[in-house]
Amino acid sequence: MNQKEIEKVLKEKLPSANIKLNEPMKLHTSFKIGGPADFFITANNIQEIREVVNIAKENDLPLKVVGNGTNLLVKDNGFRGIILKTNLQEIKITKTKNKDEINTKYKINEMESSINCKEEYIVNVQSGMALGKLAQILLKNEIGGFEFASGIPGTIGGAIKMNAGAYGGEFKDIVQDVTYLNEQNDIVVIQNMQCDFSYRHSLFSNKDYIILGCNLKLYKDTKENIKNKLDENLQSRREKQPIEYPSAGSTFKRGEDFITAKLIDECGLKGYTIGGAQVSEKHAGFIINKNNATAEDVINLIKHVTEIVYEKTGKKINLEIEIIGK
């Protein structure tokens, strides 16, 4: 089938989904870079996600799932296939001591609550929830343990996939279990130990699984303590990271026995620029979109940095971001 015929099928089977053709991915990535996706679909529930998976398989279309488009670089010629944005936003908070259920469901922008939290809590949250939004909901409910993730510009799904972390915390420390769609489009639940968490890696990193949600194990804290941690982390990000420019977050992973940003800095690459892309002058581990960069600019800069670091130090540095497209 051609694009218009596939569009017709999508609209028939997904009447409430938002379907766009030839959608510029620069509008949907934190890098503000990326050519058009053949189809950009925002799915609002699990049934719609499963339907998109079926349609992609039936028409032999590549399928890529995204959240907020962070940690992602889309090439200038775009993506031939379907980009699926999961808009699953529900959250449920349960007190573990007596299993009392509290304010059963929140949705995005519905953050009012009045509860008396104590002890430990299980927070069931769907994959499309933004980390910053969840942090604010938990602050209002005086639930701690999530502060490390508050400034990470992604969603629950992406954070689990890469075992996101900051300020001494990682998702592996708080995830109890994960619900996902496997390659057969079946819903599966696995426990933390089955997730194969390691530094910026999980079972989901190299699998065509679609994360639907998870249970997080958190705890009671005071609003003052939580807010102080959130403010401290935000101030640190502002001081140390180039959050004033579009980027995909940290471009490179830490090495096993070295700090990548320090090596890049020592190689004299801070501020090095190709086209509109630049190695951040504030944090050498970040490549930023300084001035209308193209994906080609970023890719060429990554290549240059990795080559120079290897030439001068003998160390191979690896990407933390994902590059997709043609």
Catalytic machinery residues? 200, 250, 320
Output helix, strand, coil percentages for the chain, rounded to the nearest 5: 30, 30, 40
Please list, in sequence order, all residues whose beta carbon lies within 8 angstroms of the beta carbon of residue 302, skipping any fewer than 6 positions away: 251, 287, 319
**Distances in whole angstroms, Cα of residue 22 to Cα of each of 39, 43, 124, 326:** 6, 17, 35, 14
Q: Are β-strands 79-86 and 36-43 bridged in parallel, bridged antiparallel, or unpaired?
A: parallel
**Distance of alpha carbon 5 from alpha carbon 92, whole angstroms:** 39
Residues near 177 by Cβ (< 8 Å), separated by ≥ 6? 189, 190, 191, 192, 214, 215
Given a contact cutoff of 8 angstroms between Cβ atoms, the answer to whether 180 and 194 are in contact is no
Instruction: Count CA atoms within 13 Å of residue 49 on its CB side.
Output: 27
Q: CA 216, CA 147: separation in Å to the nearest integer?
A: 13
Of 158, 190, 187, whose CA–CA distance to 171 is shortest? 158
User: Measured over all CA atoms, what is the biggest interatomic distance in the chain, rounded to whole angstroms?
Assistant: 59
